[in-house]
Amino acid sequence: MEFIKPGINIDFIGKRNIAFFISGALIVATFLLLLWRGGPNYGVDFTGGVLIQVKLAHKHSPGEIKKALVPIQLQDSIIQEFGEKGQAEYLIRVRKTDINLTGLSDKVRAALIAVFGQGVEIRRVEMVGPKVGRDLRQKALFAIFYAILFIAIYISGRFELKWLMSIIMAVSLSVVVYVASSFGVSVTWLILIALAVTLGLCWFLKLRYALGAIFALIHDVTITVGAFSLTDREISLAIIAAFLTIVGYSLNDTIIVFDRIRENVKRFKRRPFVEVMNQSINETLSRTVLTSSTTLFVVLALFVLGGGVIHDFAFAMLVGIVVGTYSSIYVASPILLIWEGKSTGKPSRK
């Protein structure tokens, strides 16, 4: 099935500077937003604390609910609307980790009934200890990092047949991570150092396809985190699963484009690299549009009809699919162009 007829010739690569500006602006805005808010808004899964889901008979503002919780000393809790619009359902996030769960749901229910009357329903009460939350956060960060690392190894062997170089990169990176962790470096800085070393090794070992893919994946995850910070959504274990899904989805799209570029470089050795790359993107455009649009419709249905439990996951997937499709064309592919130094349109020597 061909959604877009053969022979189309859109100048994607010609707009790469505009795309670089947009991507750079979004990434800078993400970092500034994270600095302003003191980092990502981690959920109870990662910070520790108590999560209480309640349903009221009528809608009330978060301020009113906080006032109702004053008698039981939970007025410092974070109140967030939950579920579909029009439903008086709320999440009460308590950052304290020394609360006794015994009878807590009854106390919350009694405090809310005293102010709002009958119709208060406690849906769930969950607690995560601070040490467990910290361990989960570290494992989640490492999961994203190792996913990107193994992708770099796969891309290098798959497209450039440099399995030995990939193994050298993996061993070198393992040594860097071990040395940095032995000095007591925090997990966040450890991941940043490891990613910088990964990009440096890809450049030094001339793993150009891996370099483009890693740039695109970091781009996708960063912008998705920015979207969560902008909308004040919490990052939980389910959202980490969404991030890993986005990484896999974006990589799949990038591999299709890279594969066609590699085939066309062998077929059209005398053509300028810019022209070959642009033709390759246009030839895979039909498949890209069909795959992205069908997946987007499914995720959009989850976002609208899935309910509050899956709402944030679907939001992450929506942003990730759009950004991942964009990065395969405007981030991963132009990185190859920068590497080859073909901005002037000279024929490739290879």
What is each CA distance from 325 to 20, 49, 337, in whole angstroms?
A: 15, 37, 18
Q: What is the band of 5 on the pLDDT scale with cuts at 50, 70, 90? A: low
Domain ranges of the chain: 13-43+132-340, 49-128
The residue type of 146 is Y
| Model pLDDT for residues 169-178, shown as the tens digit of each residue | 778 777 877 7
How is domain 13-43+132-340 classified at the CATH fold level?
Multidrug efflux transporter AcrB transmembrane fold (1.20.1640)
Token pair 């991030």: residue: 243
**Residue 86 scores a pLDDT above 60:** yes
Q: What is the band of 308 on the pLDDT scale with cuts at 50, 70, 90? A: low
Q: What is the band of 323 on the pLDDT scale with cuts at 50, 70, 90? A: very high
| Model pLDDT for residues 253-273, shown as the tens digit of each residue | 888 888 888 888 888 878 888
What per-residue confidence (pLDDT) applies to 349?
Answer: 44
By C-alpha distance, which of 96, 120, 98 is closest to 110? 120
Average pLDDT over residues 275-300: 86
The answer to whether residues 338 and 277 touch, using CB atoms and an 8 Å cutoff, is no
What is each CA distance from 55 to 10, 71, 119, 277, 312, in whole angstroms?
A: 52, 19, 8, 55, 19
- Do the first three CATH levels of 13-43+132-340 and 49-128 match, i.e. the same topology? no
> Taking the C-alpha atoms of 272, 278, 283 and 289 in order, what is their torsion angle to the nearest 10 degrees?
170
What per-residue confidence (pLDDT) applies to 1?
Answer: 52
**Residue 228 scores a pLDDT above 70:** yes
Average pLDDT over residues 160-185: 75
Residue range 49-128 in CATH 3.40.50.300: no
pTM: 0.78
**Residue 342 scores a pLDDT above 50:** no
The answer to whether residues 169 and 148 touch, using CB atoms and an 8 Å cutoff, is no
